[in-house]
Amino acid sequence: MNLEALPRFHLAEFPTPIQHLELFSKACNGPAIFMKRDDITSLGMGGNKTRKLEFLIGEALKQGKDTLVTAGGLQSNHCRLTAAAARKANLSCHLVLNGERPESPNGNLLLDKIFGANVHYCERKERDRRLNQIAEDLLATGKNPYVIPVGGSNSIGSVGYVSAMLELDTQLKDMQIKLDAIVFATSSGGTQAGLTLGAKINSFKGQVLGISIDQTKTGEESFPPVLTEIANATAHRIGFPLQLVEEDFSLNCDYLGAGYAMPGDIEFNAIRDLAQYEVILQGPVYTARAMGGLINLIQKEYFRKGQAVLFWHTGGTPELFAWANELQSIV
């Protein structure tokens, strides 16, 4: 296995730090809680998608592409960081966002525009068709587009989180920390596929638990087979002789609430608590839903005193400003 042989475009400074959340751990009255701070990668207000984009843009440049095309929700962190990464790589960028054009863009959408992305709006059910149509239209005008799947979740992007797991392993050894679990937000599957594969490669003995923030299904397929497909394709890409099965993935779908991008008390309370105990901010769509799930699991004693749990902060802080009115209820 040689990750260094794969095309890669430098976008951020790694490793991201691990912090012991001492006050928050005490308040939760459960395990020692550590945090991997992928929210402070240096590109475009930070986030985990930077890890995937380093390999995706590396591949795009290798193929001579001049334009990035991808899709997501109105407050997509992936789209915001794709727009930022395109600027760094001197590429054009087109984003297909499911939702209506707002009168006044804020949060990630505002940053998409500041970074110079071309934004297209559509209904969610039309998103894939629009994505492909825009790529075809660009080709017809002489452009050479590179289409990135939603969330950057394929065998190329997931290499970024295999690499991240290797990074974490070195840090844990240096800090003499033995983890019982790693917890994070999961959506399109690339992060979870990469982390789980990386955990297998490193012989990590703890649980790698993804808390779903929007769905138990992707299209017509159930989510575990999607994770398995991405992970095994990634293993093949990096030349590691390993085949994962559905049972290798830990997935919790108990915190979907009212649905994707519809945060409620569990997310807003998690935002308030982490901010007031540790001065760390979270976005309400992704990380706060996963953190709210972690808090609830501690309350249920799924995780207990004497254990050590790492929460992987995958970013999303700009989302906060899209829910400014709702957040007034917690301050």
- What pLDDT digit, counting tens, does each position of 45-74 carry? 999 999 999 999 999 999 999 999 999 999
Which residue among 25, 76, 187, 212 is the active-site one? 76
Complete domains list, the chain, with CATH: 3-47+154-330 (3.40.50.1100), 49-152 (3.40.50.1100)
SS3 state of residue 109: helix
| Cα–Cα distance, 114 to 107 (Å, whole number) | 11
Give catalytic status of residue 153 as yes or no: no
What pLDDT does residue 8 have?
97
Q: In which band, very low, low, confident or very high, does the pLDDT at 217 lie, cut at 50, 70 and 90?
A: very low
Given pLDDT bands bounded at 50, 70 and 90, which one contains residue 218?
very low
pLDDT, average across residues 75-95: 97
Query: Three-state secondary structure along 134-187?
Result: HHHHHHHCCCCEEECCHHHCCCCCCHHHHHHHHHHHHHHHHHCCCCCEEEEEEC
> pTM to 2 decimals?
0.95
Q: Do the beta carbons of residue 185 and residue 286 sit within 8 Å? A: yes
